[in-house]
């Protein structure tokens, strides 16, 4: 019998699909790792970036990518803050300035998928390939307005570059090991937040739409992306998290131990559950996409896909 339920998390532990709840949790964490000035700027930053995603930033349209939305961004910021807290619990230290710079980079890491006001063709998904460098441009513009130095801005730009999946983080020139670890934290947070999401498997259906518009090769259909997800995790994501990004994800367990009195890396556990459920669905459904849609029921995403297919 096909098992039911997957990726279940305590409601008070992993807020990965609600931007406001992610912000509440992150704000509490930020107070433990930043000084008062940094914490105040973090709160302004959340409002500023939400405004950017909602189309309230001069010269830009609202975000219209369905996978890489503001909720995803907030979840990455939360995961990064949790990693910093876990590092602190494990005896590592970072300057408040570097922590804040990393969180700002986390907020901006996908802004390259937002279209300018005069760009009316398609959606921001068409910029999927290379969107990180477009994000860097947005990041530079914002920080220049906040009077950050050119050196700080370039350092933060390299944090964003740690989210580029086909780039080796070791190839990025950081000024010091503290900065390198900050970049690794952001790169790790981006992967962990996505794959631990309780709606991750359903959201892959939306991710395919972005890949399709970007004409990204390697995926012929939503089903093809689902079938290749386990290999992506075992062959690419795990290696990147454990090796290329310095294995900083191990500090997540210390965060949950101290913050929630849970001796577990909840992100890794959630990812494992998602992958196990995907394996079970694959075994049950084989190559029937309708069968997959029947078993990926969270968030109403499968119903959206069905309605879109019916409307063609």
CATH number for the domain spanning 103: value is: 1.10.1300
Instruction: Give the separation between CA 312 and CA 310, rounded to whole angstroms.
Output: 6
Averaged pLDDT, 240-246: 98
Average the pLDDT over 126-131 and give the result.
97
The token pair that represents 41 in the structure block = 């700027």
- Phi then psi for 60, rounded to 5 degrees? -130, 150
DSSP designation for 60: B
* CA distance to 40, 58, 308, per residue, from 44 (Å): 7, 17, 38
The single residue listed with the structure tokens 């300035």 is 97
**Domain, as residue range, for 159:** 19-310
What pLDDT band is residue 17 in, cutting at 50, 70 and 90? Answer: confident
Q: In whole numbers, what is the pLDDT of the chain averaged over residues? A: 93
- Any idea which residue has 């590092």 for tokens? 87
Phi-psi region of 9 (alpha: psi -120 to 50; beta: other; left: phi over 0): beta
Of 13, 41, 14, 11, residue with least CA distance to 27: 41
> pTM of the predicted model, to two decimals?
0.95
Q: In this structure, is residue 290 part of a structural domain?
A: yes
Number of domains in the chain: 1
Inside any domain, residue 8: no
In a domain, 171, yes or no: yes
Per-residue confidence (pLDDT) for residue 151, from 0 to 100: 97
Q: What is the pLDDT, as a whole number, of residue 12?
A: 45
**Percent of the chain predicted with pLDDT > 90:** 90
Asked, for residue 59, whether it belongs to a domain, the answer is yes
Closest by CA to 225, choosing from 240, 212, 238, 239, is 212
6 pLDDT higher than 70: no
pLDDT digits (tens, 9 = 90+) for 82-117: 999 999 999 999 999 999 999 999 999 999 999 999
pLDDT at 208 over 60: yes
- Residue 291 placed within a domain: yes
């Amino acid at each position: 019998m096909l098992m039911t339920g997957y990726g279940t998390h305590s409601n008070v532990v992993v807020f990965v699909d609600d931007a406001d709840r992610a912000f509440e949790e992150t704000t509490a964490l930020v107070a433990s790792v930043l000084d008062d000035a940094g914490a105040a700027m973090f709160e302004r930053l959340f409002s500023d970036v939400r405004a950017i995603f909602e189309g309230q930033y001069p010269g830009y349209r609202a975000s219209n990518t369905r996978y890489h939305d503001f909720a995803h961004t907030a979840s990455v910021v939360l995961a990064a803050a949790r990693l910093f807290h876990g590092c602190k619990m494990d005896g590592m230290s970072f300057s408040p300035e570097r922590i804040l710079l990393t969180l700002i980079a986390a907020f901006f890491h996908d802004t390259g998928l937002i279209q300018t006001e005069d760009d009316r063709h398609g959606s921001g998904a068409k910029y999927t390939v290379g969107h990180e460098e477009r994000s860097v441009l947005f990041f530079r513009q914002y920080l220049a307005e906040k009077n950050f130095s050119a050196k700080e801005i370039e350092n933060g730009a390299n944090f964003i570059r740690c989210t580029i999946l086909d780039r080796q983080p070791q190839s990025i020139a950081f000024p010091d090991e503290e900065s390198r670890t900050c970049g690794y934290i952001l790169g790790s947070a981006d992967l962990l937040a996505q794959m631990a999401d309780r709606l991750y498997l359903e959201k892959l259906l939306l991710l395919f739409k972005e890949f399709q518009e970007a004409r990204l090769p390697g995926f012929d259909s939503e089903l093809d992306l689902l079938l290749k997800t386990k290999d992506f995790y075992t062959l690419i994501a795990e290696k990147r998290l454990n090796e290329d990004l310095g294995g900083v994800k191990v500090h997540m367990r210390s965060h949950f131990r101290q913050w929630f009195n849970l001796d577990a890396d909840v992100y890794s556990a959630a990812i494992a559950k998602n992958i196990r459920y995907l394996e079970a669905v694959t075994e049950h459904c084989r190559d029937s996409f309708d069968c997959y849609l029947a078993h990926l029921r969270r968030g109403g995403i499968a119903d959206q896909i069905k309605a879109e297919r019916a409307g063609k």
